[in-house]
Structure 1
């Protein structure tokens, strides 16, 4: 049976026990092997992947994004719900709030952003007008409302290289450019998912205010602690979204390459 729904757990989201009948799976890809877990939730097969591995041993700039997305593609995944801890640049988006981002600004520097490197792969210029699937975002927003969680149906995610946190001057610049949130993992993950014709949505959880806005220095432990504090909310949100998600639904994301031109 194909696995059409996947959850990618970010910082602080390491527990796949929203599922039953969990088994470990190793998927071989041209970019390396990927370890993940597959289980069931209310009769739906679901893949769970730790983006940073279970012991948070892989920093954001060294994640093998192409291997991860390829592994999910091989399993048959069509819908990805990805969690991410973020800092807020927007006073309306406070610690503990969920944001279902609709746009990104990319400030990463050293990552593999595409499967199409020329040669046998060809050259593909994929449309990213709406990088995050509107239908998945609506399901998540509906789920958050039903559970009484404070959420925002849109926001602009500034993706930074990491693993360091940003300077106060960088945060000021990102705010001037229209950024609402800052994180380190959404790009290139969302881009590769689009090239793979998958629906992708980010469940961004605000853990702190960004540098120069926060009254204190930033620490990774603070981020982990807040994610753990709200971990049950994240699990409930993911479970409700999976319950309402039709794994066989059709979406424009699933035909993202139909109209692209090879160069």
Structure 2
């Protein structure tokens, strides 16, 4: 039976729905610290779960070992990988608590290990990254949302910033001018590493606040105010991911 992988973000560090839960610590070529993978069954589906930030010590976005995480997931040969990520909304019409399925990325990060190419290989693994998310998997997510009668925002550009600090109002203005719709900190280099390993990868984003200088956040962002929206949107996103996996299994 095929495995399906779910990556949890800041709002999801464990998956309580898993039955027959087994925790495996996977050694990788990318650091001394093993990657903790939790696997089990949900509604007859083999689910492999990774907490992106870790389960005990929480790694901030710029310190996550993305290469180790994605390599460890690849060892289970998942049929699809869905990543959850909380974001701020650049556009005023995108409501807090809404769910978005982006189709593009702009990368504003620096200093992160963005490739499995080390310079020691006999060839360079150039990847086509025109469309950073697997288009078929994206379509399956959108179709599943319709089956669930769950409103989503179909498409949009995810702007990946360095973190862990939030952005300035001027930076958000720049992102807006660049064509960004959602601001987050983790989908790069996660998505391009998945592409290098030929994993079908797409993201479901939970809008938990308006971006800096926009709307309700004009005077600043109060992080405690995001918790309720994150909890609700994360639960809906997990249900959407599982519905997508079920459709792919069928």
Q: TM-score, structure 2 length as denominator?
A: 0.92
Aligned to 1:173: 174
Q: Structure 1 residue 188 and structure 2 residue 189: aligned?
A: yes
| Separation in 2, partners of 1:233, 1:56 | 26
Q: Over residues 45-104 of structure 1, what are the superposed CA-to-partner deviations in whole Å (9 max), with x where a residue is unaligned?
A: 110010111256110000000000100111212311000000001123211111111110
Indicate whether 1:119 and 2:83 are aligned. no
Q: Cα distance, 1:105 vs. partner? A: 0.5
C-alpha separation in 2, matches of 1:159 and 1:222 = 22
Change (3 A) 1:218 1:121: farther
Match of 1:232 in 2: 235
How far, CA to CA, are the matches of 1:245 and 1:231 in structure 2?
A: 21
Match in the other structure for 1:145: 146
Structure 2, unaligned runs of 5 or more: none
Q: Distance in 2 between matches of 1:12 and 1:102?
A: 22
Q: 1:36 to 1:59 in 2, by over 3 A?
A: same
Structure 1 vs Structure 2 CA RMSD: 1.7
For 1:45, what is the secondary structure of its paired residue?
Answer: strand
Please give the residue correspondences for 1:213-224 in structure 2 after superposition, counting only pairs within 5 Å.
213=214, 214-224=217-227
> Matched residues in 2 for 1:224 and 1:200: separation?
26
User: Does structure 1 retain, via aligned residues, the 8 Å contact 2:98–2:233?
Assistant: no
1:103-123 deviation per Cα after TM superposition (whole angstroms, max 9, x unaligned):
100000110000012113642
Return closer, same or farther for 1:60/1:223 CA change in 2, 3 Å cut-off: farther
Q: CA deviation at 1:30?
A: 0.3
Bigger mean CA deviation after superposition, 31-40 or 159-168: 31-40
Q: Which runs of 5+ in 1 are unaligned?
A: 248-263
TM-score calculated relative to the size of structure 1: 0.88
Deviates more, 1:3-12 or 1:64-73: 3-12
Superimposed CA distance per residue, residues 119-163 of structure 1 (whole angstroms, 9 cap, x where no aligned partner)? 136422210011101111111112222223221121100000000
Alignment match, 2:25: 26
